[in-house]
Amino acid sequence: MIQQQSNSSSRFTRTSFTSRKEWYETAAKWAFLIMAMSLVIPLLMIVGYLIFKASPSLSWSFLVDVPIRGMREGGIWPAFIGTLYLVIISLLISTPVGVLAAVYLNEYAKDNFFNRIINMAVINLAGVPSIVHALFGLGAFVYAAGFGYSIISASLTLAIMTLPVIIASTREALASVPMSFREACWNVGATRWQAIKAVVLPNSISGILTGIILQVSRAAGETAPIMFTGAVFFKAVEKGDLFPYQLTDQCMALSMHLYTVATQVPDVKESIPFATAVVLLGSVLLVNASAIALRVWLRNRKKW
């Protein structure tokens, strides 16, 4: 009777050589499994620990209350709404520029030296350390452009910082539209822009949306670039006020607030920094998860 065996080496006669090979194979497999799992399990444990420590403070009122007693108690409303301001304004600036840049790179650019330099610039822009972006924002927007320490300076800095994210994902979305779609348009006499407007963009809009969502999560989490351009430790705001800031005001931000309560303020109630971290982490992960869900859903209903 022939035994069904899945392991390729054991279809032959067992010798010390083959069994050693098998042993190595199993060992390697388990070693790599452990390596992969050692990335995943600590993450889950850490998130669980954060939530556990934060639980005394986590509630709806924590979100909509203002910090009191020098940020030692109370909620995070001004920081939360400040982050919202920064994210939305930076999004309004970087999305058009980023999408159009990606359209240029994917639809118009030929493969020549100049465009290779643009590609390299995008990659390097993504790699510039966040603190250098902060220095740039300080030098360019706060002083040279005269915006001062304000929401607009901070948003512009964030916008330039998150630009590579939107460029990369939009390019990917545009590149996934088959070339034949464009050729069909050109054949009936459409110009390049007409083809892009009528066929390429509508077919890649959800991919672009994914990129915008990723950009939101990136902008919401950054601390260093806004620290010296517009975010402050504390700003008095009414509880639950939806429009507390002017564009030229400084504002609080969630990430900055976490840094402040975790390192700068003495005698904070223990659960407050944990709860702030959980809110920040939760919103960023939620935004990312929705991007992933959108992508999976897209892939499943893709027609071509």
Partner 1 sequence: MAENQDSVLAAEYPLLSDQKALSLPKRPFWVITAERAFEWIIRLSGVSAILFVLAIFFFVFKEAIPVLFSENFNIVQFLFSTKWYPTSAVNVRYGTFSLIIGSFSVTILAMLIAVPFGLGAAIYISEFCEKRRKEMLKIIIELLAAIPSVVWGFIGITVMSKLIVNFTGAPAGVNLLNGGLILALMSVPIIVSIGEDALKAVPDSYREAALSMGATKWQMIYRVLLPAAKSGLLAAVLLGIGRAAGETMAVLMATGHSVQIPMSLIDSVRTLTANIAAELGEAPAGSDHYRVLFLTGVLLFCITFAVNLTADLVIRGIRGK
Residues in 186-245 that interact with partner 1 by CB under 8 A: 189, 191-194, 217-218, 220-224, 227-228
Phi, psi of 73 (to 5 degrees): -140, 180
Binds partner 1 by CB under 8 A, chosen from 63, 190, 199, 281: 281
DSSP lists the bridge partners of residue 67 as 74
Q: Which of residues 84-113 bind partner 1 (CB under 8 A)?
A: 96-98, 100-101, 103-105, 108-109
Q: Which of 71, 79, 86, 138 binds partner 1 (CB under 8 A)?
A: 138
* Interface with partner 1, residue 55, by CB under 8 A: no
Q: Which residue in 68, 88, 117, 184 binds partner 1 (CB under 8 A)?
A: 117
Sign, CA dihedral 104-105-110-116, equals: positive
Who contacts 272 (Cβ-Cβ below 8 Å, separation ≥6)?
A: 57, 71, 72, 73, 261
Answer yes or no whether residue 36 interacts with partner 1 by CB under 8 A: yes
Asked whether position 122 contacts partner 1 by CB under 8 A, the answer is: yes
From CA 228, how far away is CA 233, in angstroms rounded? Answer: 11
In the chain, the amino acid numbered 185 is C
Residue from 50, 63, 64, 265 touching partner 1 (CB under 8 A): that is 50
By C-alpha distance, which of 94, 144, 92, 135 is closest to 225?
135
How far apart (Å, rounded) are the C-alpha atoms in residues 167 and 204?
13
CB of 218 to partner 1, least distance (A): 8
Does 175 help bind partner 1 (rule: CB under 8 A)?
no
Cβ proximity to partner 1: between 157 and 203 the closer is: 157
The residue assigned the tokens 């509508």 is: 202
